Amino acid sequence: MIGMDRNTGKVISDEVYLKDRIQSCLSMRLGTHPMRREKGSRIPDLIDAPTNSANLFEMKVAVVDALNNSANGFSDLNVTKIIINPVTNPGTVTFDIVHKQNGVAETLSGIEVSR
């Protein structure tokens, strides 16, 4: 797949494009897109929650919900594992997503979402 980087405007493809699409999806608060209210995720609402096991689990559920939501356009992505990295910057969370593509497990590292 080929697309445009949302920050630089440069042409990107494959893994970089997929990572950019996921970051865009997870950064968008659910219900805020004017024409597509079902697009986005609950991650922006959860970023400032205390870092405990219940809230980390809730973030993982929110990531899976967003990536499985047909409005976000990730029907071809088969997520097998979500890793939440330790918080280094307040108001920012970083994920690693393990997914299967054509039967091969691949890892997208450093997917960063901030408020």
pLDDT tens across the length of the chain (115 residues) = 777 877 788 887 788 888 989 999 999 998 888 888 889 999 999 998 888 899 999 999 999 999 999 899 888 888 999 999 988 888 899 999 999 877 889 999 999 998 7
pLDDT in tens, 80-89: 999 999 888 8
Q: What pLDDT is attached to residue 58?
A: 95
SS3 content of the chain, % helix, strand, coil (to 5): 30, 30, 35
Question: Taking the CB of residue 37, how many other CB atoms lie within 10 A of it?
Answer: 11
Residues counted in the chain: 115
Closest CA to 84 of 106, 115, 52: 52
Give the CATH number of the domain where residue 101 resides: 3.10.450.40
State how many domains the chain has. 1
* Residue span of the structural domain in which 33 resides: 2-114
